[in-house]
């Protein structure tokens, strides 16, 4: 776990993670960045936010991520001049969301295991696989 001092937080960059519903992929990405990626903090949001998926919150909690206060947010709630990068984690969000910020934008389309799996056991396994992918690949995007 990364413990930030006051000086470290001044140097942190801010990533906005965007996914249409802000319920699965963006919530997971936000948690990973905020705990595991040094020098960055994240906030996630969506154009049509829904409640965070309960299976996602259970997995993140079981993996030691702090899910206290995690909720789905609209983009206009969190978008401000402090954003240093925007990362789109679903294939639709970058084409249907207009953001009035001049910062790097990255497409990192991730599958949504909750939408494609037929039962909760398959969803849980898909979410575990997705979390591992996010842990492995997302830090490289933020270099």
Whether residue 143 lies inside any domain: the answer is: no
Which residue ranges of the chain lie beneath pLDDT 70? 1-10, 92-97
The predicted pLDDT at position 127 comes to 98
Whether residue 14 lies inside any domain: the answer is: yes
Whether residue 102 lies inside any domain: the answer is: yes
Angstrom distance (rounded) from CA 133 to CA 143: 17
Q: What is the DSSP letter of 42?
A: E
Whether residue 85 lies inside any domain: the answer is: yes
The predicted pLDDT at position 6 comes to 46
The predicted pLDDT at position 131 comes to 98
The predicted pLDDT at position 100 comes to 80
pLDDT digits (tens, 9 = 90+) for 83-95: 999 999 987 655 5
The predicted pLDDT at position 13 comes to 97
Q: Residue 63 burial (CB < 10 Å; 0-12/13-18/19+)?
A: middle
Number of domains comprising the chain:
1
Whether residue 70 lies inside any domain: the answer is: yes
The predicted pLDDT at position 101 comes to 84
Whether residue 119 lies inside any domain: the answer is: yes
Whether residue 142 lies inside any domain: the answer is: no
Angstrom distance (rounded) from CA 43 to CA 33: 9
Angstrom distance (rounded) from CA 12 to CA 28: 19
Domain of 36, in residue numbers? 6-137
> What's the CATH number where 42 sits?
3.40.50.2300
The predicted pLDDT at position 143 comes to 82
The predicted pLDDT at position 119 comes to 95
Contacts of 61 (CB under 8 A, 6+ apart): 67
Whether residue 38 lies inside any domain: the answer is: yes
Give Cα separations from 97 to 36, 85, 92, 133 (angstroms): 27, 15, 9, 25
């Amino acid at each position: 776990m990364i413990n930030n001092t006051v000086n470290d937080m001044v140097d942190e960059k801010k990533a906005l993670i965007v996914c249409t519903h802000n319920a699965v992929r963006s919530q997971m990405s936000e948690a990973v960045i905020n705990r595991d990626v040094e020098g960055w903090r994240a906030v996630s949001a969506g154009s049509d936010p829904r409640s965070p998926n309960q299976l996602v919150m259970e997995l993140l909690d079981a993996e030691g991520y702090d899910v206290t206060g995690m909720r789905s947010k609209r983009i206009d709630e969190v978008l401000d001049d402090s954003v240093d990068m925007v990362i789109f984690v679903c294939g639709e969000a970058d084409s249907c969301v207009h953001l009035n910020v001049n910062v790097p934008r990255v497409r990192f389309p991730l599958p949504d295991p909750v939408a494609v799996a037929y039962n909760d056991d398959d969803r849980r396994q898909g979410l575990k696989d997705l979390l591992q992918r996010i842990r492995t690949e997302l830090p490289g995007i933020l270099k």
